[in-house]
Structure formats: structure tokens, C-alpha cells
Amino acid sequence: MPDGKPAGVRCVQLGDDNACRIFGMPERPAFCGGLAPGIEMCGDSREYAMVWLTRLESATAPEGGR
């Protein structure tokens, strides 16, 4: 996504299995590489992680965003 990914929009690089299609490639944004999974972000389930990521997106959305 050349201009970045707006909050609430699914990344175009996610496959149907939610795996990153450009993982490990130079085209992968630096932000993605710096987002290291940990207990705070992942919790003990996919549902927990998705809530955490949704909150992160909302908290970092530009003014007038979500």
C-alpha cells in the first residue's frame, strides 16, 4: 500500500490465511518488521490479538479517522 494502510482497512498483503505475502522481502514496510509479537499484543488467543491490533489502529489513526 504505497500511501500506507488506513486504520480499519485490511492490508492488501494478507493472504486468505492471514499470512503476510511479503514477509521477509525488502518491500515489507519497516513498521511491520518492527511490530514484534509478544504476550501484551497476542495474549492467549487470536481474538485477543485482533482486539489489540484494532485498538492500536484506532489510537494511531489520523484525526478524522476511525
Hey, where are the domains in the chain? 1-60
In which band, very low, low, confident or very high, does the pLDDT at 59 lie, cut at 50, 70 and 90?
confident
* Residue 64: predicted pLDDT: 57
SS (H, E, C) 52-65: HHHHHHHHHCCCCC
Quick: pLDDT tens for 1-48: 777 787 778 889 999 998 999 999 998 988 888 888 899 989 999 899
pLDDT tops 90 at residue 66: no
Q: Are 52 and 43 in contact, with CB atoms under 8 Å apart? A: yes
* Residue 65: predicted pLDDT: 52
